[in-house]
Amino acid sequence: MQLKSVQYDKPHFSHAGQCGIGEAWARIPPELDRAQRLRTTERIRALLHERDAVLVAHYYVDGELQDLARDTGGCVGDSLEMARFGAQHQASTLIVAGVRFMGETAKILSPEKRVLMPDDDASCSLDLGCPADEFSAFCDAHPDRTVVVYANTSAAVKARADWVVTSSVGQDIVAHLHACGEKILWAPDRHLGAHIQRQTGADMLLWHGSCLVHDEFKADELAAMALEYPQAAILVHPESPAAVVAQADVVGSTTQLINAAGRLPTDTFIVATDQGILHDMRMRYPGKTFLPAPTAGQGATCKSCAMCPWMAMNSLQGVELALEQGLCAIEVDPAIAQAARRPIERMLAFAAGHRQPVRASGDLARDAALFQHFGPA
Ligand code: SF4
């Protein structure tokens, strides 16, 4: 099976109004001292109640934000779980701690709700590397292909897609389309696309984007670390390069990696994804040891950063300000939102009906009823 590719490797960081890597690092809010954290946390609890709001957080944001989301009846999850939770929750305001495409997805699925973010400039290298106009021209050049885009894209890119997928369900959806005889145009993460192609044998044409964090994991250094910790299991997110994925005991989305850490009898894990996930893993499995996979080459003094600067822009202060002043409200052009909603709902319907639930919450029957009228592309 042929793997075709195109060269779109340089993210377009200069687009007006977009926050590139350097600016993101510079805008990470300062750490609060203990007294400030307590005061801010208490204020957020009160504001969530007053504003009829719920906090929906990604596994990659600061641990305190994750704890606060859990403690206040919100959700900590991967992007698929965040989308489903926000759509189903009764609150009239969703405060999304993550990156912009997550806020947009929440708004697309819940247009009647107010969606706020701690910082709506928090972006993603995959989103920035896939401008809607260039992507649309790419689709026009390949009209024979079913367009499958990763959730880490703008609403305008999603609006051009037949399917939106997350890393939880992407492989299953492509396998389904391949079995139906469809050829795939995939965007934007080239590593995830190539991994899915290897697993499914599908005919895939890949956009050449990458995640700034996962692209940095180093295969040789990972192999050396595995020799140092021979009992450790290696958990890898599929946005990582192929030579890193090839060393994995488990390849999966953030939720699938967390579940694997609980399921496997091993005590020690080397984890190749954003280090924000370690907070959740250590909380769930306190008797186990989790080590970040190396992102730096031989001779480097720091062995791993594995931290997304856009995720790090989310802070307690940002949540407080957004709730207090209604800042960073997400709006999506209604025509784009309507077009983007259909491929997102296709994914949710597929996930709801799939044999392996992506969220062991008891919500699947409700999801299936909600989205049963959406069929395949
Ligand atoms: S970790 Fe990677 S994929 Fe996730 S938001 Fe950051 S740049 Fe995007």
Q: Which atom from ligand 1 is nearest to the alpha carbon of 189?
A: 3
Buried b (16+ CB within 10 A) or exposed e, 327-356: ebebebeeebbebbbbbbbbbbbbbbebee
Site to probe by mutation for ligand 1, drawn from 59, 79, 310, 313 as the one with most ligand atoms within 8 Å of Cβ, is 310
- In the prediction, which pLDDT does 15 show? 57
Mean pLDDT check: name the lowest of 13-17, 231-235, 256-260, 322-326. 13-17
- What integer is the mean pLDDT of 66-93? 94
- In the prediction, which pLDDT does 6 show? 74
**More confident position, 354 or 129:** 129
pLDDT in tens, 30-56: 999 999 999 999 999 999 999 999 999
Site to probe by mutation for ligand 1, drawn from 60, 78, 212 as the one with most ligand atoms within 8 Å of Cβ, is 212
In the reported structure, the alpha carbon of residue 124 is separated from the centroid of ligand 1 by a whole-number distance in angstroms of 5
Site to probe by mutation for ligand 1, drawn from 18, 21, 99, 149 as the one with most ligand atoms within 8 Å of Cβ, is 99
Q: How confident is the model at residue 367 (pLDDT cuts 50, 70, 90)?
A: very low
- In the prediction, which pLDDT does 371 show? 34
In the reported structure, the alpha carbon of residue 87 is separated from the centroid of ligand 1 by a whole-number distance in angstroms of 22
In the reported structure, the alpha carbon of residue 164 is separated from the centroid of ligand 1 by a whole-number distance in angstroms of 17
- In the prediction, which pLDDT does 353 show? 84
360, pLDDT greater than 70: no
Burial class (CB in 10 A: 0-12, 13-18, 19+), 22: exposed
Q: How many CB atoms lie within 10 A of CB 141?
A: 11
In the reported structure, the alpha carbon of residue 180 is separated from the centroid of ligand 1 by a whole-number distance in angstroms of 31
pLDDT in tens, 131-190: 999 999 999 999 999 999 999 999 999 999 999 999 989 999 999 999 999 999 999 999
Name the 3-class secondary structure at 158: helix
Does ligand 1 have an atom closer than 6 angstroms to the CB of 312? no
Q: Which residues contact 88 (CB under 8 A, 6 or more apart)?
A: 363, 366, 370
- In the prediction, which pLDDT does 377 show? 35
Mean pLDDT of the chain: 90
Does ligand 1 have an atom closer than 6 angstroms to the CB of 310? yes
Kind of pairing, strands 204-206 and 250-251? Answer: unpaired
pLDDT in tens, 175-234: 999 999 999 999 999 999 999 999 999 999 999 999 999 999 999 999 999 999 999 999
* Block residue for tokens 């005889």: 181
2, pLDDT greater than 70: no
pLDDT in tens, 269-295: 999 999 999 999 999 999 999 999 999
Does ligand 1 have an atom closer than 6 angstroms to the CB of 106? no
Q: Write the residue with the smallest CA distance to atom 5 of ligand 1.
A: 124
pLDDT in tens, 247-257: 999 999 999 99
CA dihedral 334, 340, 342, 346 (to 10 degrees): -150
**More confident position, 140 or 16:** 140
- In the prediction, which pLDDT does 300 show? 72
- In the prediction, which pLDDT does 12 show? 53
Q: Write the residue with the smallest CA distance to atom 3 of ligand 1.
A: 211
